[in-house]
Copies of this chain bind each other. A is one copy, B any other.
């Protein structure tokens, strides 16, 4: 099936029902104004390490919700089933990607704790609304992401470098981009670095570690935000026996509104 203008304008509940029925598509652009979330599912035994890693590294890992063990309906998406309502999942065993199914019903266990983690789609909506251009969207590319020379604070078995996303921002709109995102700490918050890629240990902006290279316009300054890939990289490198995540770009569409994640 292919997404249509109609489905893109669906309510969150309607969108989730389409994904549950078998539609497989990236969720960018779906249900404008509603918050999309990263999903990380771990056995109870690993949940403490992950939640503590998030507490110690809130910019790259802004936790929006944690379910009870086994629970499949999150508060942020009433009526949803976390086992079926994302368009595509990734299944990990001992840190290795073993499958990319469209549901995880047969893999579900009573000891699985689900983490919904804030996503940059939310702050990108805020940037667009404030008139800050998104070069990767203009160019039809995925955002550029880089490993940095900054270590996250470790927690239990989890450690790893801070990963950042980079957006080229016109110099006269950098302050606007900072102000807008600073008000959204639940979705990565203010930039961690502005300009000077070398200061983060990034040698060449044209060779990102994840995503795609994005062309800057004349007068653009590279602005770096903490990125949700950070906790996933730390998690995978620590090799938990079992984990489920969303497939990249195939997020949970929640009923929560992006504006709910802005401070007064």
Q: Which residues of A contact B (CB under 8 A)?
A: 47-48, 51-52, 55-56, 63, 66, 178-179, 182-183, 185, 189-190, 263-264
Contacts and interface: CB of A to CB of B under 8 A. Distances in A.
Contacts of A52: 51, 66
A178 B264 CA distance: 8
A205 B66 CA distance: 35
Nearest to A51: B51
Given A47-B48, A51-B52, A55-B51, A185 B66 contact: no
11 contacts: A47-B48, A48-B51, A51-B55, A55-B63, A56-B66, A179-B264, A183-B263, A185-B185, A189-B263, A190-B263, A190-B264
Q: Is the interface of A mostly helix, strand, loop or mixed?
A: helix
Contacts of A263: 182-183, 185, 189-190, 263
Contacts of A189: 263
A192 B111 CA distance: 34
A182 B66 contact: no
A43 B32 CA distance: 44
Given A48-B51, A179-B264, A182-B264, 9 more contacts: A51-B51, A55-B55, A178-B264, A183-B263, A185-B263, A189-B263, A190-B263, A190-B264, A263-B263
A189 B185 CA distance: 12
Output the residue of A55, A179, A182, A189 with the most chain B CB within 10 A. Answer: A55
A182 B263 CA distance: 7
8 A-B pairs with least C-beta separation: A182-B264, A190-B264, A48-B48, A182-B263, A51-B51, A55-B66, A52-B66, A55-B63
A66 B182 CA distance: 24
A8 B85 CA distance: 57
A263 B188 CA distance: 13
A66 B264 CA distance: 27
A182 B183 CA distance: 10
Contacts of A185: 185, 263
A38 to B, nearest CB: 15
Contacts of A183: 263
